């Protein structure tokens, strides 16, 4: 049996609360490994300049599933 299948099996036996903790941990691990693209970095810098100038930032809300 592969490691992934073993992990899937073990996770399937966890409580919803424990699954949520694993989800949050994995989300943080993956986020830490992501590289920030130059375009994204430029957008962050532009937003920071606009906020420093007193402009209201644009807020985007993710779509709910």
* Per-residue confidence (pLDDT) for residue 7, from 0 to 100: 93
Can you tell me the mean pLDDT for 8-12?
94
pLDDT above 80: residue 5: yes
Q: Is residue 17 part of a domain?
A: yes
Structure tokens belonging to residue 18: 């424990």
The pLDDT value recorded for residue 9 is 94
- The 10s digit of each residue's pLDDT in 43-62 is 889 888 988 998 876 777 77
Q: Is residue 9 part of a domain?
A: yes
The answer as to whether 25 is a domain residue is yes
Decide if 57 contacts 51 (C-beta within 8 A).
Answer: yes
Domain total of the chain: 1
Q: Tell me the pLDDT tens digit for each residue of 29-48.
A: 888 887 888 888 888 898 88
């Amino acid at each position: 049996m592969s490691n992934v299948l073993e992990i899937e099996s073990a996770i399937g036996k966890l409580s919803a609360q424990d699954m949520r903790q694993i989800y949050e941990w994995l989300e943080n691990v993956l986020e830490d490994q992501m590289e920030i693209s130059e375009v994204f970095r430029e957008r962050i810098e532009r937003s920071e300049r606009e906020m420093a100038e007193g402009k209201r930032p644009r807020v985007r809300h993710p779509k709910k599933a």
